[in-house]
Structure 1
Amino acid sequence: MTKKLWFQVGVGILLAMLIIKYFMEIKGILAPLVIIAKAIFLPLLLGGVLYYITEPIQRFLEKRKVPRWGSILSIFAILIAVVWIFVAIIGPPVTKQINNLVENAPAIAKEINVMQDSLLQQKNNLPEKLEESIDSAANSLQTIAVNFGKWVVQFLQSFLQAMFLLILVPFFFIFMLKDHEKFAPFIYKFFSGTRQEWIKKTLHDIDTVLRSYIQGQLLISFLLAVLLFIGYLSIGLEYALLLAIFGLFMNLIPFIGPWISAVPPIIIGFIQDPKTGILAAIVMVVAQQIESNLITPNVMGKTLDIHPLTVITVILAAGNIGGFLGIIIAVPTYAVGKAIVKNIYARRKEIKEAATSTV
């Protein structure tokens, strides 16, 4: 019985639960280590994202015989130039639109209240069952909005607390660019034979998943933001650039993010003019269809191959556990775990087949 997979999985789950239980009991002793880990996590995460964004540039330069330090200095020069262009060209209109939005916030809030009162009045004329369904949906949306607001506040607090540690970001980033080939060999050198090959393949799969997700998701979000900006400009929607940038960042949250990014432009469009609100909704639908049917399949392919229902479940669970930051890292973390489990399963299958052939 001990050789059965279900028995081994059960024992593994029980051991994991015991480890978690005793870890929670001694967390006071480990508190300093947890604080250090939290302080390092955000700079390490940002450094890793920058590495995966710029690694293709480094590979391109080094194929043309540019030395390692030359490629690193070139990447920093490119990043500084990109930031300068963003601040010089995009910064002023974004700042202007933010100031206009802040000035018009009371009027927008008043219009939203008027729209809400009008909808509530119309609701009383609906059948009882439909009215109950609307109430239930409204309560669910309110809960999601409140939780999302809490997640954003938690993220901002964590971000502000870690600002003084951001000097570590260039530190991690430089050493990732400099020594990234040494990481995998350092790990699998402790193993030998087929086990070493398995570790090497697993690390390669993890690297492929992270590379595909980070590079693909950022490129998709950027292209979607361009589509939204063009669409918003064409219908004359106010705060077009600001709303497109908001859509860019929200699209980093798979599946749920695009729906969140659709709410502000539609509300602002209806306040501006009901026709503009309808056009804003059409722009969102068209942009999302182009993104999901043309851009994402060609950029991401089926590297992650995660079902949408799994994505929703993972994101909701991660949001409750880790707040807004948990939402951001939920899907790539799940994808990495899935790659590890697939390799474990493949390894077990190879061992089983080898044992069978020997017999």
Structure 2
Amino acid sequence: MTEKEPEQVKRKWFVLDARSISNLLVVLIGILFYVALNNFGVIQVKLASFLNVLAPFITGFAIAYLLNTPMSFFERKVYCKLKRRRALSVLTVYLLALVVLVILLNLIIPQVAQSIVALMGNMNTYMNNLNDLAQNLIDQFHLEGEGLNDLMVTYQDLLKKATEMASKALPEIFNFGVALGSGVISAITALISSIYMLAGKGRLVPQIKKIIYAFVPTRKADRFLDICRHANGVFVGFINGKLIDSAIIGVLCFVLNLIFRIPFPMLVAVVIGVTNIIPFFGPIIGAVPCIMILLIVDPWAALRFGILVVALQQFDGNILGPKILGDSTGLSAIWVLVAIVVGGGLFGFPGMLLGVPTFAVIYSLVGELVNAKLKARGIDGSGKRREQEGEATPGTKTE
């Protein structure tokens, strides 16, 4: 044996194969997971502070993502023959967004504010009317007054506490000076970052692809980018469609409120339109507080509004929603329910909104993986073995 052979043998002891590396990574991940569980509170605080620093850029990304579809439309259809089409498209989209925002604020905010002030100012009158109605029902139908009175007292206490909390918070809500002073830097940063993201997406996206291909094998990089394209299509179709759908439902609710003489039509329509963004539970979440408010103002109006909300929900679920959203998620009702409950439990309102498209992407990936595994094993979804290609099936003749 030569002198170099022992050195080569010694070096082999320090060479790790792929299986050893994967086992080592599993052990390290397990240790990190155990440490994270033991220090979950500290990690949560650090993560929250880190997200607060990134909040303007996250908001800017959300704005850019929402405006990317109309910007692409202007870039491809309107300014396609101009040299500065990207800059003109970005400018047009932001000007249109500003005009729409100003119009909505001038139309909605004053009426909503007036409705809230009127509701708070006339709360005692509404309570007395509700007591008179309850007493008339007891006298007319010879009801047991004690149980109904106890229920009314509990309901009134709940409303009084809610009114007191809203009254105390009302000056803070309308004190825009403090909110504007504390959030102006974040708002400007988010706006500027969204403009840069939209204007520079032609360079930003290729740079991200270059990084992925530099550190990830080509086949896996292609697969990852395909998943990203599929996820982007699902998210864009769902979010844009849901915003349009909710805007139409809000306008319809306002018009029908005026027709059926529902008190505070703008306030009720805004609540219904905003909560309708949440799939499945949205109409219920929006209808409950509106009915509670209308019940103390005008119980018969609350009844009319309940029927109106049911009709709107049926129209949205069976006609308007399928026309706008189509089959953008491909999920059945049970999986939509699971996605909303889990997403809302983990991340609140954003989780309820984004849980459905996120689960749709995961669902499609799991479906592809399952189908590939079944195909590789030569069986179908019921466990029956598929007939091999080229084999003669029973009852057929071979030449």
Q: TM-score normalised to the size of structure 2?
A: 0.65
Give the structure 2 partner of residue 132 of structure 1. none
Match of 1:178 in 2: 199
Residue 78 (structure 1) aligned with residue 102 (structure 2): no
Q: Which residue in the other structure is 1:167 paired with?
A: 188
Aligned to 1:237: 262
Deviations 1:180-237 (A, max 9, x none): 3543624642345443332221010110111012101111110110111111110111
| Superposed displacement of residue 29, structure 1 | 7.2
- The answer to whether the Cα contact below 8 Å between 1:206 and 1:339 also exists between their aligned partners in 2 is no
Q: Does 2:136 match 1:95? A: no
SS at match of 1:39: helix
- The one-letter amino acid paired with 2:89 is S
Name the structure, 1 or 2, with higher relative contact order (CA <8 Å, separation 6+): 1
Rounded Cα–Cα distance in structure 2 between residues aligned with 1:107 and 1:93: 21
> Which residue identity does 1:74 align to in structure 2?
T
* Matched AA of 1:308: A
Flag the structure with higher helix content. 1
Distance 1:319 1:61, change over 3 A: closer
Q: Which amino acid aligns with 2:189?
A: L
Q: How does 1:130-169 map to 2 (within 5 A)?
A: 163=183, 165-169=186-190
The residue type equivalent to 1:201 in the other structure is: D
Deviates more, 1:194-203 or 1:237-246: 194-203
Q: Deviation at 1:246?
A: 0.7
Once residues 14 and 250 of structure 1 are traced to their aligned partners in structure 2, the CA distance between those partners, rounded to angstroms, is 45
Distance (Å, rounded) in 2 between the aligned partners of 1:114 and 1:100: 21
Is the CA contact (8 Å cut-off) linking 2:263 and 2:301 kept in structure 1? Answer: no
Deviation by residue 1:319-342 (Cα, 9 ceiling, x = unmatched): 443344443443333334334444
Whole-Å separation in 1 of the counterparts to 2:341 and 2:126 = 30
Residues 1:52 and 2:65 are matched in the alignment? yes
Deviations for 1:263-314, whole angstroms, at most 9, x for unmatched residues? Answer: 2343444444443222212211111111111111111111212233333333
Cα distance change of structure 1 residues 307 and 67 upon mapping to structure 2, 3 Å threshold: same
Q: 1:276 to 1:30 in 2, by over 3 A?
A: closer
Alignment partners' CA distance in 1, 2:73 and 2:219: 33
Is 1:284 aligned to residue 309 of structure 2? yes
Instruction: Give the 3 Å change call, closer, same or farther, for CA 269–26 of structure 1 in structure 2.
Output: closer
RMSD of aligned residue pairs (Cα, Å): 4.2
- Is the contact made by 1:205 and 1:339 (CA closer than 8 Å) also made in structure 2? no
1:24 aligns with 2:37: yes
Matched, 1:307 2:328: no
Alpha-carbon spacing, 1:202–1:292, altered in 2? closer, same or farther (3 Å): same
Please tell me the residue identity of whatever aligns with 2:236.
Answer: R
Instruction: Answer whether contact 2:329 2:356 (CA < 8 A) is retained.
Output: no
Provide the residue aligned with 1:189 in structure 2: 213
Residue 101 of structure 1: CA displacement?
1.9
Structure 2: give runs of 5+ residues left out of the alignment: 1-24, 145-150, 152-157, 174-178, 379-387, 390-399
Runs of 5+ unmatched residues, structure 1: 1-11, 126-134, 136-141
Distance of aligned partners of 1:338 and 1:251 in 2 relative to their CA distance in 1, 3 Å threshold? same
TM-score, normalization by structure 1: 0.71
CA distance in 2, matches of 1:88, 1:240: 16
Q: Does 1:322 align with 2:347?
A: yes
Q: Structure 1 residues 166, 202: CA separation in 2 closer, same or farther (over 3 Å shift)? A: same
Q: Which amino acid aligns with 1:189?
A: Y
Aligned partner of 1:198 among 223, 234, 245: 223
Secondary structure at 1:287 match in 2:
helix
Aligned to 1:297: 322
Work out the percentage of aligned pairs sharing the same amino acid.
Answer: 22
Q: 2:250 is matched with which residue?
A: 225
Contact 1:225 1:245 in 2 (8 A): yes
Offset of 1:59 from its aligned partner?
1.2
Preserved CA contact (<8 Å) 1:255 1:312: yes
Residue correspondences, number = 316
Partners of 1:198 and 1:347 within 8 A in 2: no
1:138 maps to what in 2? none
